A and B are shown apart, each in its own frame.
Chain A
Amino acid sequence: MSASLHLILAFVLAPLLPGIIGKVKSCCAGRSGKPVLQLYFDLAKLLRKGAVYSRGTSWVFKAGPPAALAATIAALCLLSPLDQNGPLSFEGDFLLAAYLLGMARFAVILAALDTGSSFEGMGASREAVFSALAEPVFLLALMPLGRISGSFSLASMFSVHIWSAQSLDKPALILSAAGLFLISLAENCRIPVDDPNTHLELTMIHEVMVLDHCGVDLAFIEYAAALKLWFFSAVVASLLLPSMAVTPGGIILVAVGIGFTESIMARLRLISVPRLICLAGALAALGCLLCLR
């Protein structure tokens, strides 16, 4: 399988992940739940719909979804768990990936603020705060990987070869993976940080920012969110299940893990979320220390 094929698989299969998480949650709750392919149906429906724009919004609102989608696609192109080189890989590309994801978020936040709605402003401010905390932790968790693999490109950091490192480095890898898993929960608005299924606007983070989007715009945002979930699941999968990450099986297993996590715990209070991110930061920092022998 070439890197490009893997990338195409990502684009095709990403909308499957939210469906899998939902299915796991329904099974745990004893419900049959919605179909695994629901997001595909939703995307197909949304792409055929028109959009309504409020008179109070400007081009910023319209530019948000395409910009977010484009940035997320670009970030995903840098990641290839298969071999040393993704389609766009270069030394130090992890920074570009982190900030492409940051840019996607920035576009959505700007679009939310552009509506002038108090709900969306509130969501935007929460998203900005939590992602500002999560970003350094994400970079910190990548440090041990760079050190162990000897290269600062995502492709080599998350390649299968990383587990052939010295046995003393392996605890650092596990700590990194744990930190990245927590960050992926925060970045992808999953329980315990955010509840993607709630209807309560006052408690939402990500969902409340996209309340005013509809039609193709909403499809772009939903698809970008699925790709981002794929990105983080792939990152965690390549560390925890290196042999399986080559196939999408490992990534799907991570989604199942997220589904289980959501099934057995409640959402944190919003003011406790920084503590969770701090925990991820502590794990990542410990990983860094272990590498500094």
Chain B
Amino acid sequence: MAQFITLTNGGSCPAEAVPVLRYDDFAACLKDEVHAGAGICSFFGVPHARQLRLYIVLVKKDEATLAAGAMDVGQSYAALTPEFPALHLFEREIYEQFSVLPQGHSRLKPVRFDGTDSPQVGDMDFFKAEGNDVHEVAVGPIHAGVIECGHFRFQCLGEIVLHLEISLGYHHRGLEACFNQNPQKNALPLMETLAGDSSIAHAWAFSTLRESLNHTAVTRRAQTIRAIALELERLANHTGDLGALAGDMGYLPTASFCGRLRGDFLNMTAMLCGNRFGRGLVAPGGVNFDLEEALCLHLEKKLRPAARDVYGAVDLLWETPSVTSRMMEIGVVPEQAARDLGLAGPAARASGLRRDVRITHPLPGLQESQLTMQVEKSGDVYARARIRLDEIHESVSFILRELGGLHGQAEPLRAGSAGAPGVYGRPSTFGAALVEGWRGEICHTALTDAAGRLQRYKIVDPSFRNWIGLALAMRGGQISDFPLCNKSFNLSYCGVDL
């Protein structure tokens, strides 16, 4: 029986080695993997000899490996979404990009608006609840804050939300196509800013693929510095999120403290590389900045008090009854729904899914991270807040451990050469890399052509998978709880708009 190919995280294989299966075999393989607990990371199309070749990347449950497979489809195929709901947005995207119809997909609505006439930006056929007592509330695309565009359409019965539909893609930038056309010149800065709060994570995933396709081995020291930077990114964002959550509840003490502390963590990243968001730190082959011994000590001296202040500020949340009552049993995503929809990151772990690729699928050189996976059961706003605090604890002790371990290692920071202009890596190679950013697992996939140029570069930001979780969390809830639920997910608009 046909099978998907197994890859390591950050690994690559010849493009021919990815099995191209018949539709039935593909669906059967997918079913086997998903039933065995695998999660869907990426599903995308590549034009291939007048047909469309659909590639899928899965993350296996019990082994530290990925699975990849492909199938060729013509003008249409039977949609996989009814059986695998996690594919719903991927199939919509494929339909939008290549006009290949997934028959039986019930909601082929726009994913992104490319600025052409049809559909016009923002033009979408929203669900409508009928009846005298039902009313509709439209929020956005311009919001009451300095944030990006996104439209939320609530169908309400009084204060109760019957359904929330989210329409994104207002600022589609055509990023993936950029990488195909110009793979070398400005790829890294684009990666670092495609979702600006996950600069390190995206730059790392990109660099990992680049290294894998060029057989470049990264030193352990460089890999450790990347990991420290990634955890600093997580600390800054989790702290900011907890503060913002408190702010939305009108609870000032935590909100004010966390706003300041987020800045402290960003400044630590700046100490490392000169940029608060870690831009310019990670590069294919390694890192551009070293953590010398003096800097390690300085960082440690900054980190300890900042962490202590975060614990103090955030513990206030759990100790204040008016706050806990605002978070408990609000915006619940049941475990089964989270699994079916393929949620990622803290949102998935808050619902009881054990998915954290830092722990289950570590990148080369980071197998002994000693990180513990943080999981909650209740799937509500409280769980999503709690996960963040627990991960802050984990990240702080990880950084302190690794800073201690960096002493005395003398290894180069960068390895390998840049290669010829326009050439991305080995010819006809397929590679996939997963990085657990603070928002969830980021999946980058690259496919090179016979000349070694990029044929397709596919990016899946966790936001792409998690927005549906927010819509689900609101069902049957109070519309006044929406801002709180929204903040507990804190998803990215640009991570979807790409």
Q: What is A's interface to B at a CB cutoff of 8 Å?
A: 25, 28-31, 118-119, 121-122, 125-126, 191-192, 195, 197-203, 262-272
For residue B151, CB closer than 8 A to chain A, the reply is: no
On whether the beta carbons of A119 and B250 are closer than 8 Å, the reply is: no
Known pairs A118-B136, A266-B320, A266-B322; A198 contacts B256 (CB<8 A)? no
User: Given the complex of chains A and B, what is the CA–CA distance between A199 and B249 in angstroms?
Assistant: 12
* 27 CB-based A-B contacts, threshold 8 Å: A25-B252, A29-B253, A118-B137, A119-B137, A122-B159, A125-B158, A191-B250, A199-B145, A200-B483, A201-B144, A202-B139, A203-B480, A203-B483, A265-B320, A266-B249, A266-B250, A266-B320, A266-B326, A267-B249, A267-B251, A267-B322, A268-B326, A269-B325, A269-B326, A269-B330, A271-B159, A272-B325
**Total CB contacts across the A-B interface at under 8 A:** 82
For residue B482, CB closer than 8 A to chain A, the reply is: yes
Residues of A within 8 A of B144 (CB): 199-201
Residues of B within 8 A of A121 (CB): 135
Contact with A along B253-271 (1 / 0, CB 8 A): 1011000000000000000
Residues of B within 8 A of A25 (CB): 252
Nearest-Cβ distance from residue A202 to partner chain B, whole angstroms:
5
- Specify the main secondary structure of chain A where it touches its partner: helix
On whether the beta carbons of B322 and A268 are closer than 8 Å, the reply is: yes
On whether the beta carbons of A200 and B322 are closer than 8 Å, the reply is: no
Q: Which chain B residues in 108-165 approach chain A with CB under 8 Å? A: 135-139, 144-145, 158-159
User: Given the complex of chains A and B, what is the CA–CA distance between A198 and B249 in angstroms?
Assistant: 9
Residues of B within 8 A of A202 (CB): 137, 139, 479-480, 482-483
Tally of chain B residues near chain A (CB < 8 A): 30
* Chain A residue at smallest Cβ distance from B136: A118
- The 3 A-B residue pairs whose C-beta atoms are closest, nearest first, are A29-B256, A266-B251, A267-B250
For residue B182, CB closer than 8 A to chain A, the reply is: no
Contact of A269 among B135, B137, B480 (CB under 8 A): B480
For residue B323, CB closer than 8 A to chain A, the reply is: yes
Known pairs A122-B479, A269-B325, A270-B480; A263 contacts B252 (CB<8 A)? yes
Known pairs A29-B255, A264-B253, A269-B325; A198 contacts B137 (CB<8 A)? no
Residues of A within 8 A of B325 (CB): 268-269, 272
Known pairs A266-B322, A270-B480; A28 contacts B250 (CB<8 A)? no
Q: Which chain B residues in 201-255 approach chain A with CB under 8 Å? A: 246, 248-253, 255
Chain B CB within 10 A, most for which of A264, A269, A270: A269
Residues of A within 8 A of B480 (CB): 202-203, 269-270
User: Given the complex of chains A and B, what is the CA–CA distance between A264 and B249 in angstroms?
Assistant: 12
Residues of B within 8 A of A30 (CB): 256
User: Given the complex of chains A and B, what is the CA–CA distance between A199 and B145 in angstroms?
Assistant: 7
Residues of A within 8 A of B138 (CB): 118
User: Given the complex of chains A and B, what is the CA–CA distance between A195 and B484 in angstroms?
Assistant: 14
For residue B369, CB closer than 8 A to chain A, the reply is: no
* Chain A residue at smallest Cβ distance from B138: A118
* Chain A residue at smallest Cβ distance from B143: A199
User: Given the complex of chains A and B, what is the CA–CA distance between A126 and B325 in angstroms?
Assistant: 20
Contact of B252 among A119, A262, A269 (CB under 8 A): A262
Known: A121-B135, A200-B144, A263-B253; 9 extra A-B contacts, CB below 8 A, are A25-B252, A29-B255, A126-B159, A192-B322, A198-B248, A199-B144, A203-B483, A265-B251, A266-B246
Residues of A within 8 A of B256 (CB): 29-31
On whether the beta carbons of A28 and B139 are closer than 8 Å, the reply is: no
On whether the beta carbons of A271 and B478 are closer than 8 Å, the reply is: yes
Residues of B within 8 A of A266 (CB): 246, 249-251, 320, 322-323, 326
On whether the beta carbons of A28 and B248 are closer than 8 Å, the reply is: no
Residues of B within 8 A of A200 (CB): 144, 248, 483
For residue B481, CB closer than 8 A to chain A, the reply is: yes
Residues of A within 8 A of B249 (CB): 266-267
Chain B CB within 10 A, most for which of A25, A200, A201, A267: A200
Residues of A within 8 A of B482 (CB): 202-203
Residues of B within 8 A of A126 (CB): 159
* Chain B residue at smallest Cβ distance from A192: B322
Known pairs A266-B249, A269-B480; A118 contacts B323 (CB<8 A)? no
On whether the beta carbons of A201 and B322 are closer than 8 Å, the reply is: no
User: Given the complex of chains A and B, what is the CA–CA distance between A267 and B247 in angstroms?
Assistant: 10
* Chain B residue at smallest Cβ distance from A211: B144
User: Given the complex of chains A and B, what is the CA–CA distance between A202 and B323 in angstroms?
Assistant: 19
Residues of A within 8 A of B255 (CB): 29
